[in-house]
Amino acid sequence: MGVANAKKGFKPGQEAIAKKGWLLAHKWLILRRLSQFSILALFIFSPWIAEKTEVWLIKGNLASSLTLDVIPLTDPYVLIQSILAGSWPVFTGVLGALIVAVFYFLVGGRVYCSWVCPINIVTDVAAWLRTKLKIKGGAQIGRNTRFWVLGFTLLLALITGSIAWELINPVSMVFRGLTFGMGFAWGVILAVFLLDFIVSRRAWCGSLCPVGAFYSLLGSQSMMRINAYQREQCDDCMDCFLVCPEQQIIKNPLNGAAKGFHSMITSSQCTNCGRCIDVCTEDVFRFETRIPFKKIPMLNQPSDSEKLTQTQEVVS
Amino acid sequence: MDNKRRKFIGDSLKTAGAVGVGSLVLGLYSGQSRALASQAIRPPGALAEDDFLGACVRCGLCVRDCPWDTLKLAQLFDPVALGTPYFTARKTPCEMCEDIPCVVACPTGALDHSLTDINDSRMGLAVVIDQEGCIAFQGLRCEVCYNVCPVQGKAITIETQTNNRTGMHAKFIPVVHSSDCTGCGKCEQACIVDGESAIKVMPLKLAASGGSPHYRQGWKEKEKAGGKSLVAPDAEHKFNLPEGVEYDYAGEGLIIKDKTKKPEAVSVPQLEQKTKDSPFSENPLDTLNKKGGL
Ligand code: SF4
Ligand code: SF4
Ligand code: SF4
Ligand code: SF4
Ligand code: SF4
């Protein structure tokens, strides 16, 4: 596999472009960027549109918003912090959080990451540059660090009685900056970029961000999943592995047939970005639905030692 | 197996430690960011600062619904907790909308939804903070703050003081009353002085003192008690005057009850020896009747 990489000079997706054409080889990426930018644009231009037409498409920001003056949406993570800090939201706040929670519960929690979050664009660019410039190595930050961070942000809200995390949360800072005035939030974008570019690959979204961690928990039973349904066609080009923001989750569903792993990527860390579908020349992957809480059967029982190395939560 | 487990526990502890230290720093920083700069005023109905920082999710819905573009969300390095709404009265005060759209929009309890009458809001308290700068204190007529105040005649009143410079004019001094001032900041915006305003809305915590409940105001107590003093009335001052003559200080002056006796006839032996070039009248009663001293 390493040989294949070396030959291609770290340009994942080249073969896919050659075989499927540029557009198809970027289908999901384009759709994702469209989604991210139109959500941003909607928030940015709504005040302006409202000035001309008196119709508010959407107001607020990702923390809490109101669509068409009717539908409330609230980020459940920030609302939970607020409740832990000792304050009870009004009805619209709770309703908004419920709507958001149900949505991500169904489509996949980290859909927030790859289809909504503005920071994702920054960290994607950093990862792309790293691959292009063949930068390897860097600090080792455990993938589970984000859950510690998540826990501590909740604890801080409880102890300090204020939403302390929001003082430094780059996700909301950047989105709020773009919609309400940037100020020095550019510096935060730069900091996240440098972290991912210099310190370690996918350091922020892959190891540290508690927002992503929260949404991954929320969507751990989601209906929408990537399935490596044609994994027997895989030619081990490793392109999917190179573009995936959570590399560790692909291995077992793709190559674990012999060990009994199901081909569906059930890890809650999958962001449903669909980039693996884009770059695969052999059409191994596709989006599929599953029934929440229904256990995905193993093909056969993995041995104890294999269980320990599993990074996903497939239960036999 | 055992090694793996040991490594796992070790790694977890390291991570927990690192994240814990980070959280500690953030916790301390959040404590510091509680101090709200005094020029930043929260929207109407905002909870006390500590509670507000726990409730507000920094969504900006209040900002969007403010028809006067009064509210702003704090940006990085503003002297206000990041992302929370505030306004700067000197630039754009709160217009005290009757329907209080900012409060209605808030999806959390950060802006208290039980506030339905904008006159009950207490965003801060106006203080004539620079009495040297306020032209009313210099004896000029201004009263601009008084005139723009939406709670006119109640939140600010004009009190007169003697202008000691001219000795014959009054100064028309603006006085703010915490019983009615909402802290909207209209006065601060309108104040005619250059640069910083002479009257400023300050956070209530800063502007309102604890009062002086241990002092009792005799005149008020008297009023409450239906005109009866709580203390024994002062003993009346006795002037050492001849019989049939009384002296009413700050009143009629000398009262001679027995008209047959001439006041001139009163002899004051010590003064009779005074020479003519003394600045004082020879008659001590002249001095006494000259109210207000020599
Ligand atoms: S992990 Fe955090 S920063 Fe990264 S895309 Fe998800 S929410 Fe955004
Ligand atoms: S009362 Fe009106 S002017 Fe004042 S902050 Fe609220 S919406 Fe803005
Ligand atoms: S609407 Fe409420 S929660 Fe949102 S920014 Fe304003 S005060 Fe905070
Ligand atoms: S802040 Fe000024 S204008 Fe507003 S109510 Fe108080 S005294 Fe009146
Ligand atoms: S507007 Fe300013 S200068 Fe004029 S009376 Fe009020 S505080 Fe004084």
Instruction: Report whether residue A211 contacts ligand 1, using a CB cutoff of 6 Å.
Output: yes
pLDDT digits 0-9 by tens, B216-236: 888 888 888 887 777 776 677
In the numeric block, the tokens 């993995």 are attached to A302
CA distance A17 to A302: 37
Instruction: Report the separation in Å between the CA atom of B175 and the middle of ligand 4, taken as the mean of its atom positions.
Output: 11
pLDDT of residue A63: 81
Please give the backbone phi and psi of residue B171, each rounded to the nearest 5 degrees, phi first: -100, 140
CATH of domain A227-290: 3.30.70.20
Q: How far apart are CA A192 and CA A204, in angstroms?
A: 7
Asked if A167 and B30 count as a contact pair (C-beta separation under 8 A), the reply is yes
CA angle B196, B202, B206 (to 5 degrees): 130
Q: Are A134 and A10 in contact (CB under 8 A)?
A: yes
| Ligand 2: centre distance to CA B68 (Å) | 7
pLDDT at A1 over 60: no
Test site for ligand 2: of B68, B86, B99, most ligand atoms within 8 A of the Cβ: B68
Q: Are A281 and A237 in contact (CB under 8 A)?
A: yes
- End-to-end, the C-alpha distance of chain B in Å comes to 106
How is residue B176 written in tokens? 């703010």
Selection from B66, B191, B109, B157 nearest residue A94 by Cα:
B109
Sequence ranges of the domains in chain A: 26-218, 227-290
Residue A217's nearest CA partner among A101, A118, A303 is A101
More confident residue, A316 or B7: B7
HEC secondary structure over A6-61: HHHCCCCCHHHHHHHCCCHHHHHHHHHHHHHHHHHHHHHHHHHHHHHHCCCCEEEE
Nearest to B63 by CA among B101, B35, B91: B101
Q: Express each pLDDT in A226-236 by its tens digit.
A: 887 888 888 88
Predicted confidence at residue A303, as pLDDT, reads 45
The answer to whether A176 contacts B61, with C-beta atoms less than 8 Å apart, is no
Q: Is A70 on the interface with B (CB under 8 A)?
A: no
Q: Please, which pLDDT band fits residue B186 given cuts at 50, 70 and 90?
A: very high
Q: What's residue B259's pLDDT?
A: 67
pLDDT of residue A298: 59
Is pLDDT at B278 greater than 70 in this prediction? no
Give pLDDT tens digits for A29-58. Answer: 999 899 999 988 888 888 888 888 888 888
pLDDT in tens, B95-113: 999 999 999 989 898 999 9
Alpha-carbon gap, residue A173 to B173, rounded angstroms: 46
ipTM greater than 0.85: no
First to last CA, chain A: 29
Nearest CA in chain B to A305: B1
- Cα gap A62→A73, rounded to integer Å: 8
Contact B53 A156 (CB under 8 A): no
Q: Is A189 touching ligand 1 by the criterion CB < 6 Å?
A: no
Cβ of B176 below 6 Å from ligand 4: yes
| B60 chain-A contacts, CB cut-off 8 A | 59-61, 63, 176, 179-180
Q: Is B148 in the pocket of ligand 5 (CB under 6 A)?
A: no
Of A173-182, B82-91, B187-196, the poorest mean pLDDT is in: A173-182
Instruction: Please report, to the nearest 10 degrees, the dihedral formed by the alpha carbons of residues A211, A216, A219, A221 taken in order.
Output: -160
B191: pLDDT confidence band, cut at 50, 70 and 90? very high
Strand pairing class (A224-227; A64-67): unpaired
B33 CB neighbours in chain A (<8 A) are 167
Nearest to A166 by CA among A25, A70, A65, A61: A61
